[in-house]
Structures are given as C-alpha cells and as structure tokens.
Amino acid sequence: MGLGGIKLAEYADPRAVSRGVGIAANAASIVDRRVRRSDDVSVVTGRVASASGIADYFNVDVVFADFESRIIDYDCDCPAAARFDGMCKHCVALTVAYFAQPKSFEEIGDGRAAVSPGRTTSEALAQCLAARSDATPVRVGALAVDAAAGTVHLAVHLAYDGRFWSMDLTVEGPRGTYVVR
C-alpha cells in the first residue's frame, strides 16, 4: 500500500499505526469520507468508528501538503488525541484508507468546507489571520476591539486533573475563531 511517501512512524507511535491499519481494513469503519484539494493542500475528513464505546464515531481531519507527500495537520475528537503526542489510531486509519482507496472519498470542490461540522483546522487559522482591508471593530469575548490587519486575540486555558495536563488555545481574529486542543 502506497502512502505517497509518507512514513506513518514519523507521525504516530507503532501501536497507533498498527491499530489504525486494522481499522482501515474494514471499509465500514470509516464513513462520510471527503477530500478537498486546493493548490498544494488536501484536506481529508471522515468519521471513524469507535472501538471503545465512548462514541459511535469520531470526527477526523488530516491535512496533507506538497501534493499529498507530507502531513501538516491532523485532528480527532477522541480522548487519546487530546492526551498523547502524535496521530491517534483514527487519524492513521483515515490516512491509510485515503491512500488505499482515494476514489472512495467524495471530492468537495464547490467551496463547501470539507472539515467536519463544528471543527476547525489550520486552514481556519490561516483565514483567521488573513489581512483585512479595513480596521472594523471586532467583538472578542465581551470586548469590542479595533482589529488591525493580521491581529488576533489569544486565550489560553491550562488545566491539570491530578494526572494529566491539558491545554486549549483559542485564537480569535477578524475572520473567525480557531481552537487548538
């Protein structure tokens, strides 16, 4: 199976790779398969079945660059994605499924976002940071601020539950909000 030159071991630990390949082997485990290509970036999204019973499916996004030869961003709403470094098994499964059967992914080319509803990727951050031609006041939380081109408001939430640290970073700008978990 070719992965466009991508070495999954550079993005995920061996256990996540092994489990993700197993998930991808069952075509019914990944639904709502979509891909949107623009310039040299491809955004692949899908819903990957949960094996743990926490949810039926997890929303997964993987962003490829350089004509699908490297991964530049990935996101999953499973608990493991928030706790561990690297890709979770769901991100691996989506990546493997995409390269194994790219025609099974619906091409999104009409301007609709390929990203799962309610979720954002680094493309959203790029839009948030995009320069504006005006300096119209922008509402950030409860405050209205003059937003010069390229400026953003950062909100950091750092938490410790007695065992694990977690952090959410919210970037608010003239074109929207981007959340990193």
Q: What is the rounded CA–CA span in Å between residue 178 and residue 50?
A: 25
Q: What is the rounded CA–CA span in Å between residue 25 and residue 143?
A: 50
Classify strands 57-65 and 30-38 as parallel, antiparallel or unpaired.
Answer: unpaired
User: Structure tokens of 53?
Assistant: 């019973």
* Amino acid 114: pLDDT: 47
- Give the model confidence (pLDDT) of 95-138 as tens digits: 999 999 999 999 987 544 444 444 444 554 454 445 333 444 44
Spell out the SS3 assignment of the chain. CCCCCCCHHHCCCHHHHHHHHHHHCCHHHEEEEEEEEECCEEEEEEEEECCCCCCCEEEEEEEEECCCCEEEEEEECCHHHHHCCCCCHHHHHHHHHHHHCHHHCEECCCCCCCCCCCCCCHHHHHHHHCCCCCCCEEEECCEEEECCCCCCEEEEEEEECCCCEEEEEEEEECCEEEEEC
Closest CA to 10 of 62, 67, 66, 70: 70
- Give the model confidence (pLDDT) of 52-106 as tens digits: 777 789 999 999 887 778 898 999 999 888 888 899 999 999 999 999 999 999 9
Q: What residues does 73 pair with on adjacent strands?
A: 63
* Amino acid 179: pLDDT: 63
User: Which range scores top for mean pLDDT: 23-32, 114-123, 153-162?
Assistant: 23-32
* Amino acid 97: pLDDT: 94
Closest CA to 24 of 77, 75, 99, 107: 99
Q: What is the pTM of this model?
A: 0.61
* Domain chopping of the chain, boundaries: 8-107, 122-180
Q: Pick 179 or 64 by higher pLDDT.
A: 64
